[in-house]
Amino acid sequence: MVIDILREEHRNNETLLLVLERELCLFARGERPDYEVVHAVIAYFQVYPNACHHPLEDIVFEKLKARDSAAAARIGDLAADHRRGAERLRRVAQAVESVLADRELLRQTVNDIIRDFIEQERRHMAMEERDFFPAAVKALQPQDWAEIAARLTDRRDPLLSDVVEERFEVVRSHILQLEQEAEAERSPHAAF
Ligand SMILES: [Fe+2]
Ligand SMILES: [Fe+2]
């Protein structure tokens, strides 16, 4: 079911937010995070939501507007929320670049920028799971879901095809692998 896919994608996002949060904790303690991991997570969020997650949410939201405009209005402007998320991510990327370029930027400021991105992403996903998805489940009709499902399985639509989704699965596994290696190196019991 479409909503199950969106929930699964949220869980995947949360997995990567946890990775970023772990690296951020090191940074906040004055230690050096693994910047390969940090860059990989940023790159993932720069591409993945626009490639897979938001297009699907947009379609569901359009259907909700058509079936129950009051419910859609209560949720607000989903596209604007997504744009603000992208803007917060740009600030994260710039802050990380500033740190690596040794530009003057307070450690606390960098910490706040990344923390803000993580928290707002979580808040947005929680709102969708609490308000948007249940409203869609309630209002959309079987033919709406059938139409959305048909677009999902239509491989001519590159944004929604599961081929793209499989590629991102590979990217996620790669990031988790990098994170595991970074953790192993940081472990006091790591073999030298
Ligand atoms: Fe969203
Ligand atoms: Fe979402």
Structure confidence by residue, pLDDT tens digits, 127-148: 999 999 999 999 999 999 999 9
CA of 95 to the centre of ligand 1 (A): 24
Spatial contact of 133 and 6, defined as CB atoms under 8 Å apart: yes
9 alpha carbon, closest ligand: 2
CA of 58 to the centre of ligand 2 (A): 10
Spatial separation of the C-alpha atoms in residues 176 and 171, rounded to whole Å = 9
- Number of alpha carbons in the 13 Å side-chain half-sphere of residue 111: 12
CA of 82 to the centre of ligand 1 (A): 6
CA of 54 to the centre of ligand 2 (A): 7
pTM given for the model: 0.88
CA of 65 to the centre of ligand 2 (A): 17
CA of 145 to the centre of ligand 1 (A): 18
pLDDT on residue 154: 66
Q: Which residue has the higher pLDDT, 81 or 189?
A: 81
CA of 75 to the centre of ligand 1 (A): 11
Which tokens sit at 109? Answer: 């400021």
77 alpha carbon, closest ligand: 1
pLDDT on residue 155: 53
Spatial contact of 172 and 12, defined as CB atoms under 8 Å apart: yes
Nearest to 167 by CA among 8, 20, 51: 51
CA of 189 to the centre of ligand 2 (A): 39
Q: Which residue has the higher pLDDT, 60 or 169?
A: 60
Spatial separation of the C-alpha atoms in residues 183 and 163, rounded to whole Å = 31
8 alpha carbon, closest ligand: 2
> What's the mean pLDDT in 107-111?
91
Residue 165: CB atoms within 10 Å: 18
Spatial separation of the C-alpha atoms in residues 67 and 78, rounded to whole Å = 16
- Over 60: is that where the pLDDT of 158 sits? no
- Number of alpha carbons in the 13 Å side-chain half-sphere of residue 129: 14
11 alpha carbon, closest ligand: 2
CA of 30 to the centre of ligand 1 (A): 33
pLDDT on residue 6: 94
CA of 14 to the centre of ligand 2 (A): 11
Spatial separation of the C-alpha atoms in residues 177 and 138, rounded to whole Å = 39
